[in-house]
Every structure is written in C-alpha cells, then in structure tokens.
Amino acid sequence: MFWADKVAEEIIDSGKYKPYWVDDMKTPSGRVHVGALRGVVVHDLAYKALKDKGASPKFTYVFEDHDPMDDIPSYLDRAKFEKYLGMPLFKIPPPEEGYENYARYFALEFQKVFNAIGCTPEIIWTKDLYTSGRMNDVIKEILDKASEVRKIYEELYDKKLPENWYPYQIYCPNCGKVSTTQVTDWNGGEVSYECVVDKVPWTKGCGESGKTSPFSSKNNMVGKLPWKVEWPAKWKVIGVTIEGAGKDHMSKGGSHDLAELACERVINYPVPYPIAYEWLLIGGRKMSSSRGVGTAAIDMLEILPPELIRFLMVRIRVNTQINFDPSEKDTIPNLFDDYQKASDAYFKKGDKDLARVFELSQIGKPKKPPSVRFSVLAQWVQMPNMANEIRKEGFSEWEKYARVWLDRFAPEDQKFEVKDKLPREAKALTDKQKDILEKASRFVGEVKDPTELQTKIYESGKELGLSSQETFEAFYKVLIGKNHGPKLAWLILSLDRDFVKKRFEEAAS
C-alpha cells in the first residue's frame, strides 16, 4: 500500500484527528528552493489520500510573513536591503514593483509553482492571524505560563534561561526591528521590553525600552511568539490536526518535541498527527532560501513538466532522501523513463503501488504520456523536419523540455547538428566508407520506412566488408561531423532528400 494511503487509514482508524485539517508552512525569506516543494507535496498527498477514503479534509498553507529578515539573499542588492535586517518581512518593500511587500513577492512566486503541480491549499498569512486578534488568547496563555515554557526549553536543551526571559518579541516602535527585542516582564496586561543594541550579530538594536500590550489588532501588529512556541500556538488557533515537517524539526530534541510539550503542558491542545519526511537535495546539498543555495522552485517549471515535478516527489517514500541533480547525464532522461513505466503500470493494471504513484502524480485526470523515450525525443528535436513526427507521437508538450535539457544539462555526446557544409571529419573516410556513401546516394529517398532504411544501410555495408561501426560512422561523419549520433535512418529521413543525396555524392568523390 502506498505510504500516504497507510497514513490516511491510520488517521481515520485512530479516531483522534477529527476534523481532518492538514497544514504546512514556510517563511518566504527569499526565492523558495525546490526542496520546500517536498513538504507541500507530502501534505497534499495526505490530504488527497484522506479524500480518496471518503473523508472531508481541509488543507491550508501558512506563509510566515511576519518573521524577520536575518540575511540578504545573494541575488539581491545588499545595499538596498541591509537597513531592513531584523525587520518583519511584511514591512520590507518587494524586490520589484507590483507586490504588496517582500514576503508576498516570494510567497506568491512559490505558490505559483505548487499550484502548477496540483497542490491548491488555502493560503493563510501569519500576520493576519495576529492582526485579526485570533492569536491573542493563546499569547496570554503562553505568557501566563512563561515559567513552564522556560522549563521545557531547559529540559530539552540543558541550558538555564534567566528568570526574566519571556517567549515573546515586540516589534520595536522606534526602529521597527523584532530580531533585536526581548521581553523581560509580563504583568498580565502588558509586557516590558528592550531593543538590545548587540542582541544579534547581523544588525543593531536601537536601545528603546518600554511597556506595551502584546495583543495585536487590525491596524497594529505588536509582536510575535518565537517560532518553536508559535508552531503549536498556530495549531490551536487554526485547528490543525495533521502536520509534519522535515527530519531536522522532527528529530529527537528538535522543534517538534518542544511543540509537543508546549501542547501538553502550556496550551492544552492535542498534538497533530506528525508526518516526518526526508530532505530533497540538489547534488547532495541541503538548500537554503535566504542564501540562494539550490535550484529555485520556480526554475523547475522550466526544466520539467508539472506532472514530472510532482512525480519526482511522489515516487520516493516519504522517509527516503531525494537527491536531484539535473546536471548529471541521465537524471532527467531517466526520470521521464520512470514516469512512462509508472504510466504503463496504471493503464495496463500492473504493479499497484507504481500505478498509485502515477495516479497521485497527475494534475487533473490521468493522461497517458508518449510511449517513445525522452532520449529519442532529444534526438528528434535536433533533426530538421521532425515536427510532424513529434506531433504524431504526442510529444508536443514535452518538446520544450527536451530543448531545455539539451541546452542546459545534456552532455556533449548527446548533442549534434547537421552541418551546412561537408565536415572536415569526412577527410578521414576510408575507400570502403566512401563506397557505402556512393551506394547510399542511389537508394536514399526510395526507402521511406526508417527500420527498412536502417537495415538496408547495414546490409550494404556488410556486403562491402565493413563492420556496423565503420558503416554508420561514415554517415555520421559526413552529416554531423561526429563518430556517432542518433538513429541514422531517422536522421536521414528528417533531411531533404536532395540535400542528403548531394552530401553523400560529395563525400564519396
């Protein structure tokens, strides 16, 4: 049974997680990397598996737009954004005009990607949770039990916290920063705070201090809970009953352990069903949004069709790491091949798990892909006059991705170009190779079937005492200037008959 179906079955059978509310989240601190797509897909699979079992789940995605900017992505102008370090993302201007703020700019770009691959959760902005007043009750609960929160931190991390440490941060009313503020007291109605000059190494506080209510309202975002405490607080406020995270958060002593203890000992909320998943790496590296490490999620829409992006995530078990490196020679061609195999399992009633993978990789109604391999398509797009063949085989939607692969990732031995003039490599032809070209110049154009033509060329070379390698090498040298290439007959038939005849005659002379 596919892992998401097992999870859905376990959730329903337990009777503990009603109503079924699936949630995921991300801080849009920069261009979101492709690794973050795995979390969206994992939760989408749980949501869809629940629906397939007759449940009525809800699926939300939280953008943490109230978090501070603690680093500047390498692709942005540091001089322009440095003054905003430590400020919440929703208060920072966007990199381009036409967007409400910095957070929306990058969040909406990421949403475009996960919507394109069939994930359509309802979007929640954390700032709105605060300014709507929905967080106020749980903020009071947490501040009232600040001593218990301190104990939880101390138990998990074996580090003594000062008695005046409180799990809340104010947006400094003077400099607007949140990274630099700390709350030192709570009297049940107001918190005392200070914007500490040297609190963090990447920006400076202003020294402002005072008292204020910690409760935000419609036009006034006052402050925020620290993330590890805020996570369970949002579960309670939203009503989340199912939410997982990457292995770094779910490992022993990680963020989820703290959130679980906060649920039990501070806010009295049942811990949602946890789904721990492994990372998606690019070339063996874990990716970072703020540092610009890895392939941006938006770039994936240029590299792969949406269903293949989804398939990349769906086919690997949730607890298995994915290492995706498009620059490796066979990564993308093999992915297409595997997708076609999964399609066969679905349409031909083969392996049930593989068929389910294909089904859950679809965006809308299951659609049968082309049967010809991607490597063949990559050859066809380099051949002249192959548009009709590409269309006939149903390759029109995949054609552009083959061109991208050839342009950006394919090794040189997979690329070729029919030369306008006789290549210099033709000077190395043997007399027998010239003979096979002269012979082919007489029958080229008479044979229309590629398989028949391929056989005729092979047999003609054999009659002249040439090995198959020597035979085909002759044709490749005079057409593309290489010792090897795509299937020869298909290449020849993609070219103008008179051009081919003239080229063979010229090379044989």
Side chain identity, residue 182: Q
pLDDT band at 284 (very low <50, low <70, confident <90, very high): low
pLDDT at 285 over 80: no
Query: Once rounded to an integer, what is the mean pLDDT over residues 3-23?
Result: 97
- Residue 33 is predicted with a pLDDT of 87
Position 27 pLDDT exceeds 60: yes
Q: What is the DSSP string of 118-136?
A: T--PEEEEHHHHHHTTTTH
Radius of gyration of the chain (CA): 30
Q: What is the DSSP string of 340-375?
A: HHHHHHHHTT--HHHHHHHHHT-SSS--PPPSS-HH
Residues recorded for the chain? 509
Task: Measure the CA–CA gap between 342 and 362, rounded to whole angstroms.
Answer: 11
CB 119 within 8 A of CB 224: no
Please tell me the predicted confidence (pLDDT) of residue 385: 87
Q: SS3 for 163-178, per residue?
A: CCCCCCEECCCCCCCC
CB atoms within 10 A of CB 41: 26
Domains of the chain, first to last? 158-224 (no CATH), 330-413 (1.10.10.770), 416-508 (1.10.10.350)
Q: In whole numbers, what is the pLDDT of the chain averaged over residues?
A: 94
Positive or negative, the CA dihedral 478, 484, 489, 492 is negative
Of 142, 151, 127, which Cα lies nearest the Cα of 28? 127
Q: What is the mean pLDDT of residues 251-277?
A: 96
For tokens 């294909």, name the residue: 358
Using pLDDT thresholds of 50, 70 and 90, give the confidence band for residue 274: very high
Is the bond preceding 19 in cis, omega lying within 30 degrees of 0? Answer: yes
Closest CA to 100 of 59, 61, 63, 60: 63
Cβ–Cβ under 8 Å, residues 487 and 379: yes
d(CA 310, CA 294): 18
Helix, strand or coil, per DSSP, at residue 297? helix
Eight-state DSSP code of residue 183:
E
Nearest CA to 496 out of 383, 394, 337 is that of 383
Question: Token pair of 169, please?
Answer: 């941060």
Which comes out higher in pLDDT, residue 142 or 248? Answer: 142
User: Is residue 55 within 8 Å of 20, Cβ to Cβ?
Assistant: yes
Q: Which of 482, 353, 365 is nearest to 412 (CA)?
A: 482
Residue type, 378: A
Beta pairing partners, 181: 195
Q: Which of 422, 411, 380, 415 is nearest to 398 (CA)?
A: 380
Question: pLDDT-based confidence at 4, cuts 50/70/90?
Answer: very high
Average pLDDT over residues 201-212: 96
Write down the pLDDT at residue 287.
43
Q: Which residue has the tokens 């009297």?
A: 187
At residue 290, does pLDDT exceed 80? no
Q: Pick the more confident residue, 159 or 131.
A: 131
* Angle value at C-alpha 483, between 478 and 489, nearest 5 degrees: 65
**How far apart (Å, rounded) are the C-alpha atoms in residues 292 and 35?**
12
State pLDDT tens for residues 213-223.
Answer: 999 999 899 99
| Of 191 and 293, the one with more pLDDT | 191
Mean pLDDT, range 6-13, rounded to an integer: 98
Give, in order, the Cα–Cα distances in Å from 382 to each of 83, 342, 474, 480, 492.
50, 27, 19, 11, 12
The closest alpha carbon to 111, from 66, 60, 50, 69, belongs to: 60
CB 236 within 8 A of CB 260: no
Q: What is the DSSP string of 92-105?
A: SPPSSTTSSSHHHH
Distance CA 490, CA 447 (A): 12
Indicate if the pLDDT at residue 316 is higher than 60.
yes
User: What's the token pair of residue 319?
Assistant: 């607890």
Please, what sign has the CA dihedral across residues 206, 210, 214, 216? negative
